[in-house]
Structure 1
Amino acid sequence: MLTAFARAFKTPDLRKKLLFTLAIMALFRLGAHIPVPGVSFQNVQECVKESHTSGLFGLVNLFSGNALLQLTIFALGIMPYITASIILQLLTVVIPRLDALKKEGQAGTAKITQYTRYLTIALAILQATGIVATASSGTLFSGCTVGSQIIPDTSVFRIAVMVITMTAGTTVIMWLGELITDRGIGNGMSILIFTSVAAGFPSALWQIKQTGKIGGGWVPFILVIAMGLCMVGLVVFVEQAQRRVPVQYAKRMIGRRAYGGTSTYIPLKVNQAGVIPVIFASSLLYIPALIVQLSGSHSSWANWIDTNLVKSDKPTYMVVYFLLIVFFAFFYVAISFNPEEVADNMKKYGGFIPGIRAGRPTAEYLNYVLTRITWPGSLYLGIIALIPLIALGVFNVSQNFPFGGTSILIVVGVGLETVKQIESQLQQRNYEGFLR
């Protein structure tokens, strides 16, 4: 593998792409450490040490590479773009106009991408306003004594400058991601998410060694590393697993020539939904806590929500979180893969599944297979997502526990796709690549 990396850097055009990607990643991390104008840097650092942030803020903080808690110019990270992409993907199923654009090919995809950019900026303005308002009120950091002094000047002009700066930071991140896609290696947005998540791994591992519940030291550190390697192996195994449905195309005689007669397959992944169900479940579970926080109520229902649906180490929270992930896994697969459309396309081009009649029986068979393989995929997602919550009770580092939840899924998934792209470019140049 090291030889393959050396050969990749010896190839001039591939070396340029790799160095360009690394330079953009370094620039992205630099922006994650530049504070927004008007923020008290000393008070922010003190609150970061004292407090604990979970829920949706914890998710945004993960995708921003801990830039949210630092209140930097890249505090929002790539989260607004992810949210906009998911919303547009869901609206494609509902709005016929977007569905027609999707079927138009490259021109329609470019139009949807433009809509995604506009929606990203709108969401960035909303999220920046909410985060600045939360920080100025002192509720961004729970348990911080100087939380209300993070933003000393709360005038309208200062707040507007902070919101504009964070929104501009999100726009720059979006531009950097598109630059990587065009001139670098891999998908730009995925690479930036990978960079944000991987940046928190060293500090999280060192925190386990220093301040774990079981006393810290090298024994829990090595134990977490060993468990992390097992988790990476499990995630790689499941992410690569797929059910290949065989498809045969009938042979057609046109004049004196025979066309068709080829055999292929439809790859149905076990984890067809990726990390999106975990994001949906985390966002939905944050809504009850947000309602209680905004209402300021101290009634029995507010106390129950505060006790069971806000603290992530409670059994009720874990059960609801797990069930939501399973539900959203089936929901997202249902809207992203249409068996009837696939069956119609196969019938149009003379394809059929051996032993299954074309048309409606093919759609029913694909739906049956998809439902069966989605069950283990959804259970796997739920178990992976619960690992950081369980780590809260063992190592006392839930939000920074590196091996579990969205972090391990993103790092392994993006890593596999990027390695595949480098491998394919090496094979085009008659090199051995990573696998001999």
Structure 2
Amino acid sequence: MNDHASLHRRILVTLGVVVVYRLGQSLPTPHVTVRAPEGDHPLRWILDLLTGGGLSTLPVFAFGVLPCLAAPPVLRALIALIPRLAALRAEGEAGARVLTRYRRRLTVLLGLLGAVAVLGFRGQGVLDGRSAVAVACLTAGAAVVTRLTEVITDRGFGDGVRILLLAQILAVLPPEFLRLYEKTGWAAIAVMAVVTLSVTVITIVLAQGQRRVPVQYAKRMIGTRAYGGTSTYIPLRFPQSNSPAVLAAVLLSVPVLLPGASWLEWLRDEGNPGRIAVYFVLVCLFAFSRAAVTQDMDKVAAELARVGGFVPGIRPGTPTAEYLDYVNRRIIAFGAFCSGVVALIPVTGLALLDVSPRVPVAAVTLQLVLVFLVSVSLDTTRQIQARRLQRRYEPFLR
């Protein structure tokens, strides 16, 4: 009974925080004039996804979770530059608590800078009393959003920043799909359904799939007792990332900035099959190179030899590292090919719908959104299952 009560309480806390967050993104900021969105620029669409449409109307939670997303990379850069912060990170749990306080303050500071920049860009002075109230409300909104993310992380399910980002993305996407439907009719629904289903299935297969390399541990006699002799496995996975698609899209945007190069004219045509093929190849290459760099099989083989483990039929040491590297590269090659297919599906779908003003930005953004939705759903489901198993076996562990 307590198990179900705890699960229900965490689910209710998560849903309640999401409701409060969406209300804050609808609450108008005082002394701010609401303006209609200017144009249909792809950059505005991406900012709407990152802020839940807040930069168009400037509610109290105008920046959404954008300051929370920007603060950790900025803090990591400061840690690399400031020795005192690096020393705090080396202090363990005590230093981590101090760095958490610094991250909160940095998030509020980014919210303050964003409020001043946005109001200044809209032509409102930031020195008069009315604008100062608006800046204070927007900054306080960034601080409240930071606290809401921590409440979900500590008392709810999933990572707070990812959950709230998912909520605002789901709030922005329906109007975009409606606009697409008004332009292309039922073809938009059919194409987007196929795109969503295909990307979801392939992403889940890549996230859940693994190659289990069997590992045996040698028996050791300590006194009169035998230890070891058990068998386990090394799970080899393909590390998923959205950066290859982003890098490929950025690289393909370079010819647009070089109008004098006539031999690159075919790369400027977004509907050219050759351009789409180059995009597919670039995504595969970037995905393969990134996965190959992040996984070190020599380190895994050395750790196995240190604890007395070995792969059956393979000698420990260098032969084990070569075997693991051989298996891992085959997995990486297949995963890179699947990443290219995932990147190609939104491009093909939007090309069929002729959404040329937003291609390739829309295709990459759509892929990132779909992969993000799937990853957040999988992570939250795993956390719920782990919590239920922990509650079930907790009486036996006391």
Cα RMSD, aligned residues only: 4.7
Q: Show the counterpart of 1:52.
A: 40
**How far did residue 14 of structure 1 move?**
1.2
Q: Show the counterpart of 2:159.
A: 187
Evaluate the alpha carbon distance shift between residue 221 and residue 306 of structure 1 in structure 2; reply closer, same or farther with a 3 A threshold. Answer: same
Letter in 2 for 1:410: F
Q: Show the counterpart of 1:295.
A: none
- Which residue, 153, 175, 188 being the options, matches 2:124? 153
The superposition leaves residues 180-219 of structure 1 with CA deviations (integer Å, 9 ceiling, x where unpaired) of 111111222222222222223433333333222xxx14x5
Evaluate the alpha carbon distance shift between residue 360 and residue 107 of structure 1 in structure 2; reply closer, same or farther with a 3 A threshold. Answer: farther
Matched, 1:173 2:122: no
- Which residue, 148, 151, 169 being the options, matches 1:197? 169
Q: Does the aligned pair in 2 maintain the 1:245–1:353 contact within 8 Å?
A: yes
Q: Show the counterpart of 1:245.
A: 213
- Which residue, 332, 336, 360 being the options, matches 1:374? 332
Give the TM-score of the pair, scaled to structure 1: 0.69
Q: Show the counterpart of 2:373.
A: 411
**How far did residue 261 of structure 1 move?**
2.2
Matched, 1:63 2:31: no
Give the TM-score of the pair, scaled to structure 2: 0.75
Q: State the SS of the aligned residue for 1:246.
A: strand
Count of residues in correspondence between the two structures: 388
Q: Show the counterpart of 1:4.
A: none
Letter in 2 for 1:425: R
Q: Does the aligned pair in 2 maintain the 1:204–1:401 contact within 8 Å?
A: no
Q: State how 1:189-338 maps to structure 2 within 5 Å.
A: 189-212=161-184, 216-217=185-186, 220-270=188-238, 272-278=239-245, 300=259, 322=280, 325-326=283-284, 328-330=286-288, 332-333=290-291, 336-338=294-296
The superposition leaves residues 230-261 of structure 1 with CA deviations (integer Å, 9 ceiling, x where unpaired) of 43223222221122232222222221222222
Q: Does the aligned pair in 2 maintain the 1:244–1:266 contact within 8 Å?
A: yes
**How far did residue 24 of structure 1 move?**
0.8
Q: Show the counterpart of 2:396.
A: none
**How far did residue 329 of structure 1 move?**
3.1
Evaluate the alpha carbon distance shift between residue 16 and residue 379 of structure 1 in structure 2; reply closer, same or farther with a 3 A threshold. Answer: same
Letter in 2 for 1:374: I
Q: Show the counterpart of 2:64.
A: 77
Q: Does the aligned pair in 1 maintain the 2:215–2:234 contact within 8 Å?
A: yes
**How far did residue 361 of structure 1 move?**
4.1
Give me the whole-angstrom Cα distance separating, in 1, the residues matched to 2:326 and 2:15.
44
Evaluate the alpha carbon distance shift between residue 339 and residue 237 of structure 1 in structure 2; reply closer, same or farther with a 3 A threshold. Answer: same
Q: Does the aligned pair in 1 maintain the 2:67–2:110 contact within 8 Å?
A: yes
Percent pairwise identity: 37
Q: State how 1:13-32 maps to structure 2 within 5 Å.
A: 13-32=6-25
Q: Does the aligned pair in 2 maintain the 1:241–1:269 contact within 8 Å?
A: yes
Give me the whole-angstrom Cα distance separating, in 2, the residues matched to 1:320 and 1:80.
35
The superposition leaves residues 118-155 of structure 1 with CA deviations (integer Å, 9 ceiling, x where unpaired) of 6655665666666556xx2xxxxxxxxxxxxxx35245
Letter in 2 for 1:355: G
Query: Which protein is bigger by CA-based radius of gyration?
Result: 2
Evaluate the alpha carbon distance shift between residue 39 and residue 377 of structure 1 in structure 2; reply closer, same or farther with a 3 A threshold. Answer: farther
Letter in 2 for 1:341: K
**How far did residue 84 of structure 1 move?**
4.8
**How far did residue 59 of structure 1 move?**
3.5
Evaluate the alpha carbon distance shift between residue 27 and residue 335 of structure 1 in structure 2; reply closer, same or farther with a 3 A threshold. Answer: farther
Q: State the SS of the aligned residue for 1:153.
A: coil
Letter in 1 for 2:11: L
**How far did residue 331 of structure 1 move?**
5.3
Q: Show the counterpart of 1:3.
A: none
Q: Does the aligned pair in 2 maintain the 1:388–1:403 contact within 8 Å?
A: no
Evaluate the alpha carbon distance shift between residue 66 and residue 111 of structure 1 in structure 2; reply closer, same or farther with a 3 A threshold. Answer: same
What are structure 1's unaligned runs of at least 5 residues? 1-6, 137-150, 293-298, 432-436
Identify which range, 163-172 or 249-258, moves more after superposition.
163-172
**How far did residue 288 of structure 1 move?**
9.7
Evaluate the alpha carbon distance shift between residue 152 and residue 102 of structure 1 in structure 2; reply closer, same or farther with a 3 A threshold. Answer: closer
Q: State the SS of the aligned residue for 1:11.
A: helix
**How far did residue 65 of structure 1 move?**
2.7
Give me the whole-angstrom Cα distance separating, in 2, the residues matched to 1:53 and 1:40.
21
Matched, 1:343 2:290: no
**How far did residue 20 of structure 1 move?**
0.3
Give me the whole-angstrom Cα distance separating, in 2, the residues matched to 1:196 and 1:419.
20
Q: State the SS of the aligned residue for 1:40.
A: coil
